[in-house]
Structure 1
Amino acid sequence: MRTAQPGLLQTVLAPIVFGVAVILLWQGLVTGLAIKAFILPAPFAIGAEFAGNLNNVAGGMTVTGRNSLIGLVIGAVLGIALAIVAALARLLDEMAAPIVAALSVVPIVALAPVLYTMFGAGAETARQLVAALAVFVPVYFNTLKGLRQVRPVHRDLMRAYAVTSWQATRAVTLPTALPFVFTGLRIASSLAVISALIAEYFGGPVGGLGKSITSAASSSNYGLAWAYVLGSIILGLAFYCAALIVEKLVTRRSGG
C-alpha cells in the first residue's frame, strides 16, 4: 500500500496541481496585462461560457465524437488487417509501403472538400473517412513493426510443429505485436478526433465542434469559441484514456 501511494501522487495529484497553477497564471496574465479577448480570453471566462452553453458544447462533442469513433474503428480494422496480410506476404508489403506512405501526407485541407463533393455536403461520411485515414496510417505502421518482432527461434519452433502461417500468426506473432498495436491505437485515438474536427471546417452538416468554433469566432464570441475548444480537448483526452484502459484490460487478460 505504501509503495502505491507515491505512484498515485505522481500520476494524479501532480498533474492536477500543475494544471491549476497554469490556469491561475493564465488568469493573472490576462487580467494584469489587459489582454484582449480576441487574442486570448481568460480561463474563467472560458469556463463560464462552457458552463453556460453546456448543452451546445455537449451536442457538438456528440457529433464529433461519433464521427471520430466510426473513423477510429474503420481505420484501425483496416490498418491491422492489412498489416497482418503484409507481414505474411512480402510482395504485398513492398507494394503497399509507398501507397501508405503517400496516404500519410495527404492534407486534410484538400481531402475534405473532395470527399464532400463525392458523398454530399449533407452527409457525415466525409468526416468519418478523413478520421479513418488519419487512424489507418499509424495503426498500420505500428502493427507491421510489431508483427516483425518475433524472434527467429520462435519462428523455427513453429516450423518444427508444422503449423500454418495463420496459426503461427495467431499463436505467436499477434501476441508479440500487441504492445505495438496499442501504441498505434493510442496515437490514432487522438488523431481521429483532431482529423474529424478539422474536416468540419471545410463544409458538411451544421454540427460538430469544428463548425461551432468557426461560427463562434466569426461572430466575435471568442469566449464561446474557446469553450468549444475546451470541449474538443476533453473529447480527445476521453478517446486517449479509453484506448489506454482497453490496452490495460487486454494486456492484463493476455498476461494472465
Structure 2
Amino acid sequence: MRGAAVRTVGAPILLGIVALALWQLAVVALDVKPFVVPSPLAIGTAFGSTPDTILRAALLTGANALVGLLVGTVVGILFAVLAALSRVIDEITAPIVAGLAVVPIVALAPVFYTMFGANAQTARQLIAALAVFIPVFVNTLRGLRQVRPVHRDLMRAYAASPWQATRTVTLPGALPYLFTGFRIASSLAVISALVAEYFGGPIDGIGRAITTAVASSNYALAWAYVLGSILLGLVFYCATLALEILATRHRRRA
C-alpha cells in the first residue's frame, strides 16, 4: 500500500524535477532569450521575490472563479434535473446548451464589461459560471439517465413521486458523473476568470498582471504569475477532488 502511494506521488514529482532540469539546461546551453522562454531558475527567483503580489492577484482571480464555479454548478445541476424529469425541457435546453458551448470567451468579455461596467467583477464571474455550466450540466444529465430499469420499476411499485425517485435513486446514482463534471469545471472556472481579465475590467487579477509584466518586458515575472495561476488551478482541482472523496465515503457508509 505504501509502495503504491510512493509511486503515485513520487513518480510525478521525479518527472517534474527531470523536466525542470532539462528545461534549465536547454535554456542555458542554447542561449534561449527570456522573451522566448525564461529559465526555471529565473521564474523561481521572480516568484520568490514577489510572493505577496502574486498571492493578492491569485486571491482575486480565485474569488471570481469560486463565485463562477458555485453559480455555474448550481444552475447546471438544476437544469440537468429538470431536463431529466421533463422531455420537453430536455428538447428545449439541448440546442441552447450546444450554442453556449461554442461561445468564445473573447467575444463575451467585452460585451459583459459594457453591460455591467468596466470596474465591476461581475463580467468575470459570469464568464466563469458559463464555462462551468456546460460540463456540469452535460455530465449530471448523463448520470441522471443511468438509472437501471429495475430501480425505476421499484419506485413505481412504491408509488413514489418523480421528485422522490429523483432524490432517493437518480441523484445518488448520478454523483460520480456530477463530480466528474465538477472537477473539469473547477479548472475551467480558473482559466475562464483569468482569460476574461485580458479583455478589460478592473486592473487586477493574474491575467492583467501577466499582460502588465509582458508589456514591461519582465518575462520572468510574467511566467511567475503563470506559475501562480497553475497553483491556483491545482488548489481548485484538489478541493473538488477532496469533496468527491468525502461524498463517496459518506454514500458508502449510508
| Mapping of residues 1-256 of structure 1, within 5 Å | 4-256=1-253
The superposition leaves residues 190-229 of structure 1 with CA deviations (integer Å, 9 ceiling, x where unpaired) of 0000000000000001110000000000110000000000
Could you tell me how far 1:7 is from its partner in structure 2?
1.7
Residues of 2 paired with 1:165 and 1:114: CA distance? 40
Residues of 2 paired with 1:238 and 1:21: CA distance? 23
Q: Which amino acid in 2 is paired with 1:219?
A: S
Could you tell me how far 1:6 is from its partner in structure 2?
2.1
Residues of 1 paired with 2:3 and 2:104: CA distance? 44
TM-score (normalizing by structure 1): 0.98
Residues of 2 paired with 1:254 and 1:10: CA distance? 28
Residues of 2 paired with 1:64 and 1:233: CA distance? 12
Residues of 2 paired with 1:23 and 1:241: CA distance? 23
Residues of 1 paired with 2:149 and 2:251: CA distance? 22
Residues of 2 paired with 1:37 and 1:251: CA distance? 46
Residues of 2 paired with 1:63 and 1:206: CA distance? 11
The superposition leaves residues 84-120 of structure 1 with CA deviations (integer Å, 9 ceiling, x where unpaired) of 0110001100110000110010000000000000000
Could you tell me how far 1:230 is from its partner in structure 2?
0.2
Task: Give secondary structure in 2 for the equivalent of 1:51.
Answer: helix
Q: Which amino acid in 2 is paired with 1:26?
A: W
Residues of 2 paired with 1:98 and 1:155: CA distance? 28
- Aligned pair count reads 253
Q: Which amino acid in 2 is paired with 1:55?
A: D
Task: Give secondary structure in 2 for the equivalent of 1:211.
Answer: helix
Residues of 1 paired with 2:51 and 2:80: CA distance? 41
Task: Give secondary structure in 2 for the equivalent of 1:41.
Answer: coil
Identity of aligned residues (%): 62
Q: Which amino acid in 2 is paired with 1:28?
A: L
Q: Which amino acid in 1 is paired with 2:251?
A: S
Residues of 2 paired with 1:69 and 1:7: CA distance? 33
Moved over 2 A (4+): none
Could you tell me how far 1:158 is from its partner in structure 2?
0.3
Residues of 1 paired with 2:99 and 2:42: CA distance? 43
Could you tell me how far 1:150 is from its partner in structure 2?
0.1
Residues of 2 paired with 1:30 and 1:178: CA distance? 46
Residues of 2 paired with 1:208 and 1:173: CA distance? 40
Could you tell me how far 1:21 is from its partner in structure 2?
0.5
Q: Which amino acid in 2 is paired with 1:75?
A: G
Structure 1: which 5+ runs fail to align? Answer: none
Structure 2: which 5+ runs fail to align? Answer: none
Q: Which amino acid in 2 is paired with 1:90?
A: R
Could you tell me how far 1:11 is from its partner in structure 2?
1.5
TM-score (normalizing by structure 2): 0.99
